[in-house]
Structure 1
C-alpha cells in the first residue's frame, strides 16, 4: 500500500510540474504579444504592470510546485491537519473536564429527561388530497 501511495504522489508531482510548465509557456507567449502591442501602441509603457502581476502568479505557482519555502506543500498540509486535530482534542478534553461527574456517568435517558410535546402548541396541516 505504501508503494502505491508513493507512486500516486509521484504522478501528482509530475502532473503539477507539467501544469507549471504550461503556465510558464502561456506567460511567455502572452507577454511577448503584449510587448509587441505596447511597442506599436505608442511611447507610453504599460506592459510592465500585467507582466509584474502575472509574474508574481508564476512565482507563487513555482513555489507551490517545487515546495520552495516549505509552504503550501504536503508537509504544510500535515502540520495544519495536526494543529486542527490537536485543537479539537483539547476542546473535547476541556468540555469533558467542565461536565459534572454525575451527568457524565449517568445514562442518557436519566441525564436528559424526555420532553413530551404540548398539544396546545401543535399545528395541524390538512392531509394531501383532503379538502
Structure 2
C-alpha cells in the first residue's frame, strides 16, 4: 500500500469516526428530549423503546466504525474497493 492509499484510508476512517460522534451526540440529545417529554406529559413509560431501538443502531454503528466488523463486511469492502479501482 503506497502513501497515497494510506492517507486515503486514514481520511476515510476519520470521516467515519466523525460521523459516529455526530450520531452519538444527536442520539443523546434526542433521547434526553424524549425522556423529558415522557416524564412531563405521559403516565405511560414509553421512552425506553426508542432508547433501545436507536441505541442498538448506535452500537452497530460503533462496531462498524471502530473495527469490530464481521468478516463478510471487510471482504465486501475489499471487493468493492478493487472493483472501483479497476474501473478507474
TM range (shorter): 0.7 to 0.9
Cα deviations by residue, 1:29-84 (Å, 9 ceiling, x for unpaired)? 0000000000011221000001100001101100110111x327873323xx4xxx
Kindly report the root-mean-square deviation, in angstroms, between the aligned alpha carbons of the 2 structures. 1.9
Aligned-partner Cα distance in 2 for 1:32–1:25: 11
Q: How many residues align?
A: 78
The residue number in structure 1 matching 2:74 is 75
The residue number in structure 1 matching 2:83 is none
Look up the SS of the partner of 1:67 in the other structure: coil
Give the greater-gyration-radius structure (CA).
1
Change (3 A) 1:15 1:24: same
Would the aligned equivalents of 1:38 and 1:45 in 2 still touch at CA under 8 Å? yes
The residue number in structure 2 matching 1:21 is 21
Cα deviations by residue, 1:77-120 (Å, 9 ceiling, x for unpaired)? 23xx4xxxxxxxxxxxxxxxxxxxxxxxxxxxxxxxxxxxxxxx
Change (3 A) 1:72 1:47: farther
The structure with the largest helix share of the pair is 2
Which runs of no fewer than 5 residues in structure 1 stay unpaired?
82-131
* Structure 1 moving runs of 4+ over 3 Å: 72-75
Bigger RCO of structures 1 and 2 (CA < 8 A, at least 6 apart): 2
TM norm structure 2: 0.80
